[in-house]
Structure 1
């Protein structure tokens, strides 16, 4: 496992090493012969491609996107730095020539696809396949999963994309491969995952193999992508999103297929929910591997996100400035106000117990586990978001104001209070790529859409009751809203919300202005005074957002359209 981690870390540093080997291999038979004769070197080609999986940031290409993720392109969080305008899809300003933080996404994914194609075209006829057939079968399964991941992410962003499965010089002048239909892309991804499942060992891969692809990982991605495909965004009867073969999924069995895929993983029996009774227990669940973690990207002091650069990890990037962090991704007040009360009621429901003078009291468990707010304690420090000169305020002495959480909130989920920021790293905290609660919710949503509300209530209730909320008893549209709520809160900051809002076609949420709250202490004369009375300045608009029809998908970068003659996505001009 140490070798697995080290090679991953090397590959992160600018996408070097294995990629260079792959690109030089066709013209250098000695290098290729050595690589495919030594199982350790062959493994290195696969381990490089693990960088296609998601992590704490959006990608490793840009300085910022190693530290901040896609959550800032949804209603979950707001990136407060002046460069936030690079989330161009928040303002409907994305163009093929101005992709903002998404600018390198297309070529990076095809780089991994090219590496996978090269490997899979050569491995069966290699000496290592003869000498180590069992190990090679597993490596093929891993690489098929990783190629499926790349295509899954691409169709989530763009709809149908060119399906390239053989080695191809992507920088060749005659690179002309048409975009496949969205449905064909889904079929290919599902086929890849089924083939990978047949090649991979049974059970979980723990211990020294933690972080490597398992059958469960493949089943989880299959469940997710069939759920996405069945959703409104890809339903040709829904008029709000772009329509046509590049975007539509027409299979009559789509919801049953999604339900079957989720239930297969549930029945697989290798995963179980972690029982928790307090917000602290729920929070700590994310700091180490556990029984509900199906697949994750491993991190430890010997394998940091970027070697010798702790600030790409969430502790520095997202902790409050009062604790030595940068607080880059600020949960929005919109998101905070969506948290239910501990009794399971929405804050606006009659009899909920919500107190406008004590807005953080009696919320459900995940609020306290996931969000830092005015008066909460973090690293043993009570957080003061108030002016003048609170320890987490915009006018804190020595603070230039850029790291102030203008929404009034900081992240808490994933942050390890046992470490010293900038000095030590969380010992065994993974980034979750698939967890059992997601699969329960996939199944619940599919069963709801099939009309099986009792089954849907059973599985959404498992997620809700685990955090102390009452069992779900709703029906009809209210039940679907409860399922959506559980996805929103249970999967917070795990890179789901951006895609969920699009597939549900929730344009009100996608175009919702970002709200924040501010706190002040003022004396009897109305002046700011550190000894004054604490008051909240209610909701204020921090950022106006817009959402248009074309924003369901990203534009294909201008250079790629020109080079390959691709059809551009609806609503964009080259």
Structure 2
């Protein structure tokens, strides 16, 4: 597979600091720098500007400004995983986050507005540029991509902060920079309009081959589906707290709109589920492009190393320490115990067959595809999480990156490569997949009272991994739909937002637990030749969640600079 490449040179662009206030135009060309006139006169340079803006879509890491945050994913601020390195910087999981004490979250506001500023500048100039006259078809496509990318940035902002300052043109030096926050509903309406316009500019069908990773009509419809589903959810209902214009979405047909958006993508009939028979089949599905992948960030040796640090993501960062990795995101024991049994029952359901002395036996297929645990095989070797001396124990040589929870992730890891010597050739980071759209549709249908249809679509996802047909009704059906999102979209950046939009404070307030394995002899002493025993669940992190934390605070510097209204509770 070939991917499009962000150009290796750095463009001299009209970028924005904070949310678009500063202009920094370099009109010279020292070394590999290009002027604005160059960019809009050469369509390849124009495309490079768009390619730069693709960084707003992110990948396995949450940040680019601090080296270790390139390796930390948002799953570690949910119940999916616990970050093994500098965990206190999450703050949000421990009730410590404040406007002037946000850790790396401070950068999210500036990063997204930086890309919005780039998109605004591009869209304000492109129609009158020389390239628009010389290559109108290609420029139309680039406009569609940039509209999607701007919508993507706003969608990420409102998911974290609620309503935000909304603007679609560049600031001039004489402009008033004190732009107030728009309402959440105004932001959603703007995002949907942008995506609808982008669809009309983009080519039909998936973009594969050399165009893999570029925005498609399907990507736009997938983002629209997600945005409208989130907006329709409980968090944005005026009856819940926090409420008010910065948080509420009050359209009477909100669930119908969410259903229609998902169905529009399904009706394109351009994507299909990949059939799987084994856990290995499912695992392999995430290592290369396939028929259900709607939109993804390319990942390969051809893709630049800056700012994504792909030499160590995800294999070096997430593989077990015994295989040469750092094992940074440790799946939690809480999450592991949420996996159903192969017969479709929860472990505490009567007749499930769960055996606490053999707790990893007979779990559903995705457990074995996604989780590494004591006794699992990885790169042909059995994983040993036990002390003393197991390959994954705290005594293992090298950096102190043993799995504190007793688990590592398997999802996304390419077991065929040698860590630190090779990179996976074709692995993409999924930004939208067909199963999400089926589950979006099922959830919206449920809230519309169309349970038969909702079961049809959730069963497409559950049945693909061999689970028995879901036949539940009412609240039990909603729980089944939520379960499928939890397990099918594991580590894909959804769980953090799903638990918030469902207002699952109890889940986010749940302490993070792990297990510890030991071998002891008849005298009770630690002995590598002794009997394997399990300790736990053991407390890994004491978490605290309050209604304030449904949204991040607006960084203090931004409130002071632009006179913005602060979020509820801060």
TM range (shorter): over 0.9
Farther off after superposition, 296-305 or 45-54: 296-305
| C-alpha contact 1:159 1:247 (8 A) present in aligned 2 | yes
- CA gap of 1:225–1:23, structure 2 versus 1, over 3 A, is same
1:150 equivalent among 150, 153, 171: 153
The match for 1:537 is: 535
The match for 1:105 is: 108
The match for 1:297 is: 297
Query: What are the equivalent positions in structure 2 for 1:377-526 lying under 5 Å apart?
Result: 377-396=377-396, 398-400=397-399, 402-526=400-524
Deviation of 1:24 (Å): 4.2
- CA gap of 1:250–1:187, structure 2 versus 1, over 3 A, is same
1:164-212 Cα offsets, whole Å, 9 max, x none, are: 1110169x89410000000000000000000000000000000000000
Deviation of 1:101 (Å): 2.4
The match for 1:228 is: 230
User: Is residue 274 of structure 1 aligned with residue 274 of structure 2?
Assistant: yes
Deviation of 1:64 (Å): 1.6
Query: What are the equivalent positions in structure 2 for 1:179-258 lying under 5 Å apart?
Result: 179-238=181-240, 241-258=241-258
Q: Which stretches of structure 1, 4 residues or more, deviate above 2 A after TM superposition?
A: 1-4, 16-34, 304-312
- How many pairs does the alignment contain? 561
The match for 1:54 is: 58
| C-alpha contact 1:310 1:316 (8 A) present in aligned 2 | no
1:64 equivalent among 65, 68, 76: 68
The match for 2:348 is: 348
Structure 1 spans left out of the alignment, 5+ residues:
none
| C-alpha contact 2:6 2:304 (8 A) present in aligned 1 | no
1:87 equivalent among 90, 95, 99: 90
- CA gap of 1:507–1:319, structure 2 versus 1, over 3 A, is same
3-state SS in 1 of match to 2:144: helix
Farther off after superposition, 300-309 or 195-204: 300-309
TM-score, scaled relative to structure 1: 0.95
- CA gap of 1:132–1:173, structure 2 versus 1, over 3 A, is closer
Alpha-carbon distance in 1 for matches of 2:311, 2:100:
30
User: Is residue 120 of structure 1 aligned with residue 123 of structure 2?
Assistant: yes
- CA gap of 1:449–1:10, structure 2 versus 1, over 3 A, is farther
Alpha-carbon distance in 2 for matches of 1:114, 1:96:
23
- CA gap of 1:173–1:524, structure 2 versus 1, over 3 A, is farther
TM-score, scaled relative to structure 2: 0.95
Deviation of 1:68 (Å): 1.2
Alpha-carbon distance in 2 for matches of 1:524, 1:502:
48
Structure 2 spans left out of the alignment, 5+ residues:
17-21
- CA gap of 1:470–1:202, structure 2 versus 1, over 3 A, is same
The match for 1:317 is: 317
1:548 equivalent among 540, 546, 549: 546
Alpha-carbon distance in 2 for matches of 1:10, 1:32:
14
Deviation of 1:33 (Å): 2.3
| C-alpha contact 2:84 2:329 (8 A) present in aligned 1 | yes
| C-alpha contact 2:13 2:24 (8 A) present in aligned 1 | no
The match for 1:132 is: 135
Alpha-carbon distance in 2 for matches of 1:27, 1:279:
55
Alpha-carbon distance in 2 for matches of 1:10, 1:455:
50
Alpha-carbon distance in 1 for matches of 2:3, 2:540:
46
1:490-531 Cα offsets, whole Å, 9 max, x none, are: 000000000000000000111110000000000000000000
Cα RMSD (Å): 1.9
3-state SS in 2 of match to 1:180: coil
Alpha-carbon distance in 2 for matches of 1:188, 1:173:
22
